[in-house]
Structure 1
Amino acid sequence: MPSSMPHSTVAVVLGTLCVSLPAVAAPAKPATAWLARPSEAARVARVEAGLKPISLPGEAPTTLSLQRWMALYDVPGLSIAVFDRGSLVWAKGYGVKRAGTEDAVTPDTRFQAASISKPISALATLHHAEANKWSLDEDVNARLVSWKVPENDLTREQKVTLRRILSHSAGLTVHGFRGYAAGQPVPTLLQVLDGAPPANSSPVRVDILPGSQMRYSGGGYTVVQQLLEDQLHRPFARIMQETIIAPLGLKHSTFEQPLPAALAAQAATGTLDGGASVTGDFHVYPERAAAGLWTTPSDLARIAMEVSKAYQGKSRRVLSQAMVKQMLSPQPTGQFGLGFALPGGGRFAHGGGNEGFRCILLADPATGSGVAVMTNSDNGSRLFDRILDAVATEYGWKDFAPKGGRLDETFDLLVRSKGIDAGIAWLQSKPTLQEGDTLSPSLLNEIGYARLNGGKTADALKAFEANVALFPQDANAHDSLGEGYLKAGRKSEAAASYKKSLELDPKNTNAVKVLKELGAVTP
């Protein structure tokens, strides 16, 4: 199965990178930019020109403009906001809202924030906790009314609490959500929590001892959404409007799902790998707390600046300094605070990925500086490190941007430019990894699903088979190989792969389900 959120991608094979790059159309008219002051124009230009080149094995480094990087990765639209020392210094849109059109992205264009919804939802939850509405450390079932976390031996030993949910350590299932395409029935929140039709996700349940380890759970934030609605007796979108959006003056943000028709003209259309638009423009996410925010980089910047001001003791419009410091303190089970990821150096961050959208927010609360980037493409995240590094270099932010190698990026470009065989051969031949590189099963898994969903089943099988060879003890690698074999009509081999996956992970309910459908005996 996909390593994280599913990617409905269409593969693209380009010519050799250093020989033939995609032609880039002239910028859409009108050009769209907003600058806080004219002096920033030169800095914006240096950021755009300062993107690090990349070298393919055996080839000279190639420097590309931001627009050419966007074209290479089929990213039709991108929006950036930079804030420095507590002020929003510039924001700019690039490209178009929908692939194949001339409707330009502006700083006011709304994108799906995906999982960045989680820390924003956490802000509202902590606000109401601080107002003595509830404790972060009590059993959430004491506050849930419409639905309860089902009890089992694990919950009798340790309770599911808000602190644990917000830090992804409550032991709850369901990593992320796929959303619902245009025309599909959309489940209620209770149906999502129980995995009942028409929900396309599994039930939210406890299967790890609460408090024992960190495991990312969008399902947990869906429990938070139900708790807020039960306690405040209002729809979640209205709660967020009253608690966060209105107090912070966020004029281009909403948690309403589906997006109201009146706002559709301001919204970007999601784009799949390969450049095809998402059917119906974008998916609907009833899991609002986990994935439902529509916003702009400028509004994300305003949220991050408010968190920073509260951290510095200069504001308490949403949270006190003491509560923000709790929010930005690592919890015992991992590199998460209460909502935000904590990548080190005192900074807070979160990324997001919905169908056809990728985004990131990274900030330093001590200085009130940071950057937000939003894209309408499944490939948008491939631009993030390069943009963050260029911004940090220009503004002199020390140790701000991600460091380390580009293994996944190089691999992806090799596959795009020279084919799956060349990419796999290079990956298998690497004698050592650079600092920051991580060779994990998700790398080949993601490429495999991009090929599988793009109709290139033979290439997908090559990726999945190489993944199993590199990571023979990874249950998900065998599960994905089984799906590839099934798509190719090789049912006996699919059954063998699913059985191996189930042997390695007895909790793999997907393998059990498929094996039953195949009429195979499960171990």
Structure 2
Amino acid sequence: MRLAFTLFASLLALPTLVHAQTSKPPIDKGTVLLEVPAQGKTLRITLGQMMSSLHVPGVSVAVIDDYRITWAGGIGTTREQGGTPITTETPFQAASISKPVTAAGALWLVSQGKLDLDQDVNERLVQWKVPANDLTKTQKVTLRRLLSHNAGVNVHGFAGYEAGKPMPTLRQMLDGEAPSNSPAIRVTATPGTLCRYSGGGFVIARALMEDVSKQPFDEFMQQHVLTPAGMKHSTFRMELSPADAARAPTGTSVAGKSLPGQYHRYPEMAPDSLWTTPSDLALFAIEIARSAQGKSNHVLPQAMVQEMLKPQCEGDGDRIGLGFGLRWEQTRGTFAHNGGNDGFQSTLMMDANTGKGLAVMGNGDGFSGIGEAVMRVIGERYGWHATFRDPDLGDIVLVIAGVKDLDAALGAYRQAKASGFKGYRHGPGTLNTLGYQQLMRKDTASAIRVFAMNVAEFPKDANAYDSLGEAYMAAGQREMAIQNYEKSLTLNPDNSNAEEQLKTLRKGSQND
């Protein structure tokens, strides 16, 4: 999973889904998302082209304006080959957007006097305790710190489990015991001293919520958050019902391969297992925004939501509330979160001050650039007056390689470089991703060409040499592979992959 960021006074009717009364939707496959110079011309890249080139079969969008869903729609299909059309009721894995929704559930318990944000969680945990160590002698793990990624807890995210694999219990996940595929969740920094994203912290929060509520986590969240917010197509259940699974998309890799078993299972639940739709996420965001203004209280009272949207932890450019990220290069009223499980990605953003926002989801690991581009286009059309991040040049060259060819993609990179990369985000990963696109196509000559260019661009980057070594290895050029893996290891002595590949390559040399 990815770091996400880089959230009642009177009982009013729940917000309703309202489609814009227009003959043309605000976005479709033909919508131009990017305009980039390539080979002396301006290349206009559409949503459909991005979806095809980045292997994202389906995209679903909900647009929020004036605290209402003004348009929602699905684009594409549930899988690359075949599948069914995406609709507004097609559920996607929300991944880390599960966290702010979970936070709302935890804050419901606080609002009812059943939990205290600043109490040592070990005083309320029953089925498991946070192991004490020197770091917790004076500073304790609290619910506030868990929900704001400030508790000093490890484990950034979780890999999930393929269908049919053994599922760990909650305690096994907390202690990193088989069949859990993640490390033990422990305090590895003094609580309250470090903003560090932690999915592990939300697993502890789940244990706390279950112990206090005496309900299974998914049932508690359905009763106290999802249903009150009007999220009719949402569930925290790890395994979908047969009917929901038939409607759900298949997770898709950057190479366009379907995930075995359709999707990975996430038994951690609280940080990553929410299935939902953009429209349901939009309803949740609207509820939070209106609650912050004292105009709704279906989930939380105004004071609790205002606490949720107040910066709790700041560092490394992040401003984090209770569950939501609060730094989004937009206004101070904006709360947001991204999500990424294997094969699924999503973005939710809402401005509580203007009532404008967006939820967009896709079933592909290459979705992030699409989500950002959709946000820019919708923001311009709906007058958000916001400053958006520059597009990722890595996504652009991937799409150009798909729409045109590799020469055009590398030409676009050179043009961007000539302009000082103005208007683009770029780095060692920009060409690296393009190189792996060629490697996955088994075009080792093109992969070597791209990786070699990346090494020339970033001669101090260990991973650039590691990738070039991998391409030479795939091409059967053992000595060149050894040379590049050795260079990578020199730059990064902790590169265990380079060590393993060198052992394999040198063993092969001895057997010749």
TM over 0.5: yes
Residue in structure 1 matching 2:108, options 127, 137, 144 = 127
1:404 matches 2:385: no
Residue in structure 2 matching 1:392, options 356, 360, 379 = 379
Residue in structure 2 matching 1:337, options 321, 334, 343 = 321
1:91 matches 2:75: no
For residues 31-42 of structure 1, the aligned pairs below 5 Å read 36-37=18-19, 39-42=21-24
Q: Percent identity?
A: 42
Displacement of 1:127 in angstroms is: 1.5
Residue in structure 2 matching 1:307, options 263, 288, 291 = 288
1:350 matches 2:337: yes
Equivalent-residue separation in structure 2 for 1:90 and 1:51 (angstroms) = 18
Contact in 2 for aligned 1:482/1:497 (Cα 8 Å): no
Q: Deviations over 1:443-482 (max 9, x none)?
A: 4565566666776777777777776776677787788789
Query: Which secondary structure state, in structure 2, belongs to the residue aligned with residue 329 of structure 1?
Result: coil
Indicate the larger mover: 469-478 or 66-75: 469-478
Equivalent-residue separation in structure 1 for 2:124 and 2:432 (angstroms) = 40
Equivalent-residue separation in structure 2 for 1:382 and 1:321 (angstroms) = 35
Displacement of 1:484 in angstroms is: 7.9
1:163 matches 2:134: no
Q: Deviations over 1:30-82 (max 9, x none)?
A: xxxx983562344x257776533332443422234433332232222111111
Displacement of 1:86 in angstroms is: 1.6
TM-score, normalization by structure 2 = 0.81
For residues 104-115 of structure 1, the aligned pairs below 5 Å read 104-115=85-96
In structure 2, relative to structure 1, the CA distance for the partners of 1:425 and 1:297 (3 Å cut) is closer
Residue in structure 2 matching 1:326, options 307, 312, 321 = 307
1:256 matches 2:256: no
Equivalent-residue separation in structure 2 for 1:428 and 1:497 (angstroms) = 29
1:77 corresponding residue in structure 2: 58
Contact in 2 for aligned 1:3/1:445 (Cα 8 Å): no
1:23 corresponding residue in structure 2: none
TM-score, normalization by structure 1 = 0.80
Contact in 2 for aligned 1:74/1:377 (Cα 8 Å): yes
- 2:399 maps to a residue whose letter is L
Displacement of 1:440 in angstroms is: 4.0
Contact in 2 for aligned 1:47/1:390 (Cα 8 Å): no
The count of corresponding residues between Structure 1 and Structure 2 is 485
For residues 198-237 of structure 1, the aligned pairs below 5 Å read 198-237=179-218
- 1:412 maps to a residue whose letter is L
1:143 matches 2:129: no
Query: Which secondary structure state, in structure 2, belongs to the residue aligned with residue 250 of structure 1?
Result: coil
1:371 matches 2:355: no
Q: Deviations over 1:337-357 (max 9, x none)?
A: 111112131211111111111
Equivalent-residue separation in structure 2 for 1:282 and 1:320 (angstroms) = 36
Query: Which secondary structure state, in structure 2, belongs to the residue aligned with residue 305 of structure 1?
Result: helix
Query: Which secondary structure state, in structure 2, belongs to the residue aligned with residue 290 of structure 1?
Result: coil
1:381 matches 2:375: no
1:294 corresponding residue in structure 2: 275
Residue in structure 2 matching 1:413, options 393, 396, 399 = 399
In structure 2, relative to structure 1, the CA distance for the partners of 1:409 and 1:242 (3 Å cut) is same
Equivalent-residue separation in structure 2 for 1:480 and 1:149 (angstroms) = 40
Query: Which secondary structure state, in structure 2, belongs to the residue aligned with residue 379 of structure 1?
Result: coil
Contact in 2 for aligned 1:404/1:434 (Cα 8 Å): no
Q: Deviations over 1:387-439 (max 9, x none)?
A: 1122122222211x624344233343355554499649947992664466444
- 2:368 maps to a residue whose letter is S
Equivalent-residue separation in structure 2 for 1:478 and 1:309 (angstroms) = 51
Indicate the larger mover: 487-496 or 128-137: 487-496
In structure 2, relative to structure 1, the CA distance for the partners of 1:376 and 1:242 (3 Å cut) is same
Displacement of 1:108 in angstroms is: 0.5
In structure 2, relative to structure 1, the CA distance for the partners of 1:445 and 1:178 (3 Å cut) is farther
Equivalent-residue separation in structure 2 for 1:60 and 1:347 (angstroms) = 37
Equivalent-residue separation in structure 1 for 2:235 and 2:367 (angstroms) = 22
Equivalent-residue separation in structure 1 for 2:134 and 2:450 (angstroms) = 40
Query: Which secondary structure state, in structure 2, belongs to the residue aligned with residue 52 of structure 1?
Result: strand
